[in-house]
Structure 1
Amino acid sequence: MNVTLTADEACSPVTTHAIGPDAASSVATTLKALSDPLRLRMLSAIASDPRGESCVCDLAELAEVSQPTVSHHLKVLKDVDVLTSERRGTWVWYKINPQRRRAVTTLLDSFAPATVAATASDGASEESLRPDFDARVTRLADELSAEIPEVDEAVVLGIVRESYTALARTARVTSALIPLAERFARQRLSDLTRDRDTSVPQVLFVCVANAGRSQLAAALVNQLAAGKVIARSAGSSPADVIHPHVRSLLAEIEGDEAAERFPKPLTDDAVRAADVVITMGCGDVCPIIPGVRYDDWVVGDPALASREGVEAIRDDIAARVRILVQELLEETS
């Protein structure tokens, strides 16, 4: 039977914005590299590692396969620029390629959970498939309470929960939250129990994102003072990660310890524990605590600078830090 289409029913070409053949080929190559369960698990482990990177020896524990097999899978991910690597001694360390981090985060935090939820055979909800973070937070609080018996258990639990919640607001990968919350909670408990009469001077640097200048300033103080002055840093509106140029400079200053740094929100505990609070472009966000010295340093923002510009900002901060440390050591001598 012949069917005649009217003018309104006839198909007519329309302009589309479909992905081009070259781009499609590139994306397909990357997706093919990711289409292995072990590779996805290794990618997730690297993305969630609180150090910002993982050693091949850590990744070998994910499955009962030989180390050469692990290295092969990692090479596949490197070949499509999802991972970068660095050899240190006898081990190779892997991290997410900064240019692919947003894509990896979308894959692990959005696409993967949605896929698992859609294919769950028992019809479980997405909420029920998430790890039991509440139990882990409570267990962490119990461990810290045992270590710091002088602080009421309810206070410790409250600080741990607040620390976890504050970091969760900007976290890219939720599986890294527990170790980060532990480090943040330990710092807050240390601030809470600090004895000003017997402790070395403590400085708190505050900027907006805690992803650049305040991190550099704290690292430079700790390097120069060698334990005779303690420095903290925080942000009035912390970012999710430290600025890449700043991260590399922190590695030069602190070595492997730089991997322990992450943006943290400003807390009253940190301000109360400080002898000196120095703001860096964040305005009047700090609570005024009697007995605490306040100052404001006008320095450039690394987020707006080139690599050379960030190095100049570091040098500016370093000059100010030398004067500050000298003043504080003279006051305590």
Structure 2
Amino acid sequence: MNHTTHVPDETCATIPPSPAEHTMGSDAATSLAGTLKALADPLRLRMLSMIATSPMGEACVCDLTTVAEVSGPTVSHHLKVLKDAGVLTAERRGTWVHYRVEPALRGAVTTLLESFAPATVDAAARTAPLGGLTDAEETLARIAGRLSDECPQRDPAAVLTVVRESYTALARSSAVRAHLVVNTERFARQRLADAERAVVDARAVPQILFVCVANAGRSQLAAALVRRYAGDAVVVRSAGSAPAADVHRAVRPLLADLGAADDAFPKPLTDDAVRAADVVITMGCGDTCPVLPGKRYEDWVVGDPALASATGTRAIRDEIDRRVRALLAELLPDLPLPA
């Protein structure tokens, strides 16, 4: 009788990957470290912010000397560091050299300035522990019941789904858990209204949607200014492609001055909000906003108040105010506006 011995085929054995195989490669880490080292200077970050948010997308040494009380040669040195690291490109025109963000890095620079930097600043200032609901489902069911009464034409089950989705979306990023229930109801009510408007096409009044990355500064200010000037003559929404945990600290006093501090909270961008809008204003996130036919789109190049000084934040508010009044003058020619 023959006995066959089976030898395991080592080539078929499943070998779990080593943790080291999931880490960043040495070459990539070295390259990234060099770029981060070039960025790791407060003045360079401010200069990069100025270039990235300039209406023309560029700046020269004469512009950048206004960022801080430093000499032209010092500014030129910092620009050279950023250029050598591949972050900036340079073009000489006459006696001046103009600097732009390297096209291949525009998305990365936008993420750095619009998402990572504000989140870092806010996280450093946040000390209060986060709390949450112990029984979310019961609370969400009550919210859905109230909204179903307001929207009798909608299936109650569909309303509950919208409420749950709204809660999940806000809970994922919100740092203000004490207001999470109230904000969930507000957000769900907005979403239901937007969905109804998109289907019914009820255009009794124009609807404006302001979209930025974090929905924590510029878009909130723009929406608050529209409400201040137009009231119920316009429906206004704001949203973010990557909502922040909370409204930026520097922006809260400005919203309070406009009477909008209690109503402002970061919200994610939804397709229904875009469909319901007549005018969509992007503020640094145009590539992430759906482009639908029949909508008016504008991209407002405005600085980010999250990282600006107090004076800079007010200047940004004033620039947004100017643009808002110009927009409302077009949409509502008979609306009285301050000069």
TM-score, structure 1 length as denominator?
0.59
The 5-angstrom pairing of residues 35-50 of structure 1 reads none
| Cα offsets for 1:142-179 (capped at 9, x unmatched) | 22112210112222111101100000111225453222
1:212 aligned partner: 217
The 8 Å contact of residues 176 and 246 in structure 2, kept in 1 or not, is answered as no
SS at match of 1:231: strand
1:185 matches 2:188: yes
2:159 aligned partner: 156
Instruction: Identify which of 232, 239, 246 aligns with 1:227.
Output: 232
**Counterpart Cα distance in 2 of 1:158 and 1:279:** 28
1:328 aligned partner: 331
Give the 3 Å change call, closer, same or farther, for CA 166–197 of structure 1 in structure 2. closer
2:126 aligned partner: 102
1:242 aligned partner: 247
1:294 matches 2:318: no
1:88 aligned partner: none
SS at match of 1:206: strand
Give the 3 Å change call, closer, same or farther, for CA 243–270 of structure 1 in structure 2. same
**Counterpart Cα distance in 2 of 1:236 and 1:331:** 33
2:286 aligned partner: 283
**Counterpart Cα distance in 2 of 1:321 and 1:167:** 27
Instruction: Identify which of 273, 276, 279 aligns with 2:276.
Output: 273
Deviation at 1:304, TM superposition (A): 1.7
**Counterpart Cα distance in 2 of 1:100 and 1:210:** 19
Deviation at 1:326, TM superposition (A): 0.7
Instruction: Identify which of 166, 169, 181 aligns with 2:169.
Output: 166
The 5-angstrom pairing of residues 306-325 of structure 1 reads 306-325=309-328
Deviation at 1:290, TM superposition (A): 2.0
| Cα offsets for 1:27-67 (capped at 9, x unmatched) | xxxxxxxxxxxxxxxxxxxxxxxxxxxxxxxxxxxxxxxxx
Give the 3 Å change call, closer, same or farther, for CA 99–211 of structure 1 in structure 2. closer
Structure 1 counterpart of 2:230, one-letter code: A
Deviation at 1:283, TM superposition (A): 2.9
**Counterpart Cα distance in 2 of 1:319 and 1:198:** 25
Structure 2 counterpart of 1:216, one-letter code: L
Deviation at 1:227, TM superposition (A): 2.1
**Counterpart Cα distance in 2 of 1:149 and 1:104:** 40
1:60 aligned partner: none
The 8 Å contact of residues 210 and 237 in structure 2, kept in 1 or not, is answered as yes
1:260 aligned partner: 263
RMSD: 2.3
Q: Identity of counterpart residues, as a percentage?
A: 59
Structure 2 counterpart of 1:104, one-letter code: A
**Counterpart Cα distance in 2 of 1:300 and 1:173:** 25
Deviation at 1:103, TM superposition (A): 2.3
| Cα offsets for 1:271-294 (capped at 9, x unmatched) | 111000000011311112221111
1:201 aligned partner: 206
**Counterpart Cα distance in 2 of 1:317 and 1:272:** 24
**Counterpart Cα distance in 2 of 1:190 and 1:258:** 22
Structure 1 counterpart of 2:189, one-letter code: R
**Counterpart Cα distance in 2 of 1:303 and 1:315:** 15
The 8 Å contact of residues 206 and 331 in structure 2, kept in 1 or not, is answered as yes
| Cα offsets for 1:183-216 (capped at 9, x unmatched) | 1101111112225444210100000000000000
Give the 3 Å change call, closer, same or farther, for CA 99–188 of structure 1 in structure 2. closer
Deviation at 1:101, TM superposition (A): 6.2
**Counterpart Cα distance in 2 of 1:281 and 1:221:** 19
**Counterpart Cα distance in 1 of 2:273 and 2:283:** 16
**Counterpart Cα distance in 1 of 2:227 and 2:201:** 18
2:117 aligned partner: none
**Counterpart Cα distance in 1 of 2:333 and 2:270:** 28
**Counterpart Cα distance in 2 of 1:198 and 1:223:** 21
* Count of paired positions: 212
SS at match of 1:226: helix
